Structure 1
């Protein structure tokens, strides 16, 4: 029979909860470490016939919960609990209220028989949550700054991710954010991460399901200072224009004489606008002749609607954009969108009628007569 299968199990649970309340000023990780398996230890001591106070109640045998908590503090080398100041607060402490709510919910769960193995499993997953929490914080910062991508794509973003992970791990270990002056910040970030983790993971799953990695090699003379091959990793969306497995960011149209055309509206056979971008100007695009990524802007039709099927798309280097009050990228006053460099100044002219033969690659051979 388990040591918890005794008539004192309710008293043990209540006593353990009171001990944890006496340790409430410590971080949740420290409370869990100090009171790990507390219920089992108390129940086993009550059931031990060799104990001097065997047969007595839990309070008689172990003393007031406050004193028991003080002994746990002393054994762990922690300072005694601060005495109450006696001041009356008009407004509650949101951090303490959150902890109190968490302790209440945890106490209700621990009263259920099925919760013990679940809690043990979740405790084993703490390091994974610390890493995930750091990634969630990085994603929230990236959303605020308007940076896309589920993983860092430059050194600055990578440093933000590393910093968020370090802060999360140190908070989880109880090393940092122990002062009451800053603990509210860590608690708030933890609550926000818990609320945001599922939407962010769901979005990541949808993005991965709808895209695949594409590796595009191109020669970038300016980027490499005189020639070289650079490999770019980008997402190929389900919607858009794809050529040779690589998503196209812009279209350049030439007439029959090979002259470049501007402000060309492109539609498919069903009258749907042909778009190469679906990010409404938030993403960044590289092309061979650019020294930095570009962002594009839409055109506006006579009805005031934004059009993204007018080619070639116009834009500017991303560094020239600023953000308005709604968080949208805009060009500041004095700057205007321009057309990126064309692939070539003039395309080959067309001087022959369309070939009538399916699959023909050139003029049909002239038939010869036989004698």
Structure 2
């Protein structure tokens, strides 16, 4: 078959398509203008030559057109595919190259199996970000209201559907998914930190209430009662105005419940030991309390160490006369000094005087 057997118009079209293939790196509208001009020129040459037309090499002709138009030499062909399609193609090529290795194939299969986990984490990360910006509990990783749970569940559901390729009716919305995925990746470390690290909240509750019998804010260690003559009393039962037993360490507190440490023991000094009733129950309102030592190894009382607590002084000052209550003038005058007594050595402590310590 020679050139004259092919219609002239078909020859020109085929030649123009061949030239077009060598100009595919140029913008499409510019290529169309060049091809339209080329077709018109070739048709005119064929008409002037009586139907005879020598077309030559399409590549050389395309190079001449570039040179005449001042266009750059042929480079990489321009792709008409969108950026997203090209990126997916590049990722597909990368995945294929990784799968050529055994470990790479195993790793890609693992990531593929974990995709649903990422979908859920993406929804949680988006909720965490929104709750941290607009919520009342800053840094909270879990919802604390019904509306919060509904919002969290909705975001997780949308994220899962996006991962399945659903709920994106328009391709124009797909970049939104990409942007939100990037934001979720950035928020994910903070989400994991909020979920795994303990959350500390500082709440001011005011001064704590100290239980037990206090004097000027300090725990009373024991109580010693003296009669009107200043004599020390033993086995005195004390009650409050409401009939409650007066317990130094607080109402209802016991060794069985608190242990010695809970009753103010510091681990060094003796502990206060209560008396016991007929049933063997501790009685904490009988004073003065006894003292004893505790075995540190077993946290139990050493029975052999129980003894009476030393009183602050043997006798208390005589401060009133029971025969004339409330009448200061009825108080007896200080006794005359005994010439045989040693000056400056009172038998009982007076007001402001020093007490006689117990042996």
- TM-score where L is the length of structure 1: 0.33
- TM-score where L is the length of structure 2: 0.34
Q: Which has the higher strand share?
A: 1
Structure with greater Cα Rg: 2
Q: Which has the higher helix share?
A: 2
